[in-house]
Each structure stands twice: as structure tokens, then as C-alpha cells.
Structure 1
């Protein structure tokens, strides 16, 4: 029964994130609030609609500028892929590189959103997320696999976009918590060895 409740929260989080991200400039605050919503459910805290939108509001300072930058980067990469694949010799290779860059950007964005808390600053999260993505390469690969599952499932059944988006948010939260535990274990083992 608890697993079904978590799936229900993933569905709710996916829907709420899509609604909150509609203005585009709220993309990162919506993702951060979605991750915080999943964390709150797992930790047994409040997961009401009101608390979700309070988290979005708390994440807005600094988040809307970064959201515009992220959307701009994705737009440039998408335009590059479309133009290069059809009009430039050897453009397929460059388009593939742009696709990999887009996936890398998505991983960094999700890592920043999963690490967000009301006392965190987006500028600090934006600087630390790429380092954490590289340092915990296994966790980053898990996020890439979650994107793959999202694409395959929603390609086959588009109505499953909502729960699958929530599952990607849950994967981001799990990777964030996993990387925190791995870092603590590594620091403990080095202090014991030293």
C-alpha cells in the first residue's frame, strides 16, 4: 500500500510541476518544489497543494533568471540539432554532440533542483550541481536512464507523462540522497584509514 501511495505522490508531483512550469520562467522552482514534495512524502511531512505552491514561491528568488538561462540553452541546442542534421555535411555527429549536451544539462538541472532547500541560493546550486554530477557519475547515469524510461514510456503511452515525470523527480531525490550517503561513507572511511 505504501508503494502505491508513493506512486500517487509521483503522479501528483508530475501534474503540479507541469502546471507550475507553464509560465516557463518557473521551470527550476517547479522542479525544486516537485523534488521537495517527493522528499516530504518520503519523510512523512506535509504534501498538500498549498505546501507545494509555497515551495514554488520560496524557490522563485533567483530561480526565474536561471530558468530563463536553462530554457535558452535547451532552445539553442534544439535549433542546432534541427539545423545541423538537415543542412550541414557531417551535421549528424554535431547533432549527436548537442543531444548529449542537452542530456548533460538536464542532469545538472535535476541535480540542482533535488538539492534545493528554502535556505539555498540558486547561484550556489548552479555552481555545485555540475561538480556533483561528475563526482557521482553513477548517480548521473541513473538520471540519464530515468530520462530514457520517460521517453520510451511516454512515446508509447503519452498519458503516462505525468506519473513518469514524477518518477524522474523521485529518481533525482534518490540520487541526491544516495550521493550524500556515499560522500559520508567515503569521508568516514578516509578518516578511519588516516
Structure 2
């Protein structure tokens, strides 16, 4: 029964994150609140929707410039992939590099969202998440695999997008907790 409730929380978190991220510039606060929602469920804390929106509100300050930068980065990479793949000789290789860069950016964004707390600035979170993405390649690979599962499952059954977004958030939380545990064991 506990596993089913975790799936229900993933479904709820996925739905709420997709709704809050609709204005696009609220992507980072939505992801941070979604990760905090999953953490709260795992830790036995409240997962009320009111608390989710309080977390979004707490994550908003300072997030807009970083959210816009992330979205511009994804847009530039997507345009490069489409343009280079079809119009430039040897563009296939550069398109692959752009896809890998886009996946790397997504990993950094998820790591930052999973590590978010109200007392940390988004720019600092992104810097630290970039460092952690390279320092913990195993955790980054786990997040890449979660993206792969998300793509395959939603390609086969599009209605499963909601719970799969929640599952990717859960993977980000698990990778963050894994990093914390490994850091404690190293001491």
C-alpha cells in the first residue's frame, strides 16, 4: 500500500508541476516545489496542495532570471538541432552534441531543484548543481536514465506523462539523497 501512495504522490506532483510550469518562467519553482513535495511524502510530512503552492511561492524570488536563462538555453539547443541536422554538412554530429548538452542542462536543472531550500539563491544552486553533476557522474547517469524512461513510456502511452514527471522528480530526490549519504559515509 505504501508504494501505491508514493505513486499517487508522484501523480499529484507531476500534475501540479506541469500546471505551475505552464507560464514557462515558473519552471524552476515548479520543479523545486515538486521535489520538495516528494521529499515531504518520503519523510512523512504534509503533502497538502496548499503546502505545495506555499513552496512554489517561496521558490519564486530570484528564480525568473535563471528560469529564463534555462529556457533560452533549451531553445537555442533545440533550434540548433533542427537547423544543423538538416541544413549544414556535418551538422548531424553537432546536433548530437547539442542533444547531449540539452540533456546535461536538464540534469543540472533537476539537481538544483532537488537541492532547493528557501534560504539558497537560485544562481548558487545552479552553480553547485553543475559541480555536483560532474562530481557525481553515477547520479547524473541515473537522472539521464529517468529521462529515457520518461520518453519511452510517454511515447507509448501519452496519458502517463503526469505520473512519469513525478517519477523523474522522485529520481532527482533519490539522487540528491544518495549524494548526501555518500558524503556522510566519506567523512
TM-fit CA distance, 1:110: 0.2
- The match for 1:41 is 41
Q: What RMSD, in angstroms, separates the aligned Cα atoms of the two structures?
A: 0.5
Structure 2 distance, partners of 1:98, 1:25, is 22
TM-score, normalised to structure 2, is: 0.99
Structure 2 distance, partners of 1:161, 1:133, is 25
TM-fit CA distance, 1:65: 1.3
Structure 2 distance, partners of 1:70, 1:53, is 22
- The match for 1:191 is none
Structure 1 distance, partners of 2:147, 2:67, is 19
Choose 1 or 2 for highest CA Rg.
1
5+ long unaligned stretches in structure 2: none
Structure 2 distance, partners of 1:111, 1:78, is 21
Q: Does 1:135 align with 2:129?
A: no
Structure 1 distance, partners of 2:41, 2:65, is 28
- The match for 2:63 is 63
Structure 2 distance, partners of 1:65, 1:20, is 17
Structure 1 distance, partners of 2:104, 2:32, is 18
Structure 2 distance, partners of 1:120, 1:34, is 17
- The match for 1:181 is 181
Structure 2 distance, partners of 1:64, 1:16, is 19
Structure 2 distance, partners of 1:24, 1:146, is 22
Query: Could you give the per-residue CA deviations for residues 143-178 of structure 1, whole angstroms, max 9, x where no partner exists?
Result: 000000000000000000000000000000000000
TM-fit CA distance, 1:123: 1.6
- The match for 1:4 is 4
**Stretch moving more, 113-122 or 68-77:** 113-122
SS at match of 1:23: coil
| TM superposition outliers: structure 1 runs of 4+ over 2 Å | none
Structure 1 distance, partners of 2:40, 2:138, is 25
5+ long unaligned stretches in structure 1: 188-194
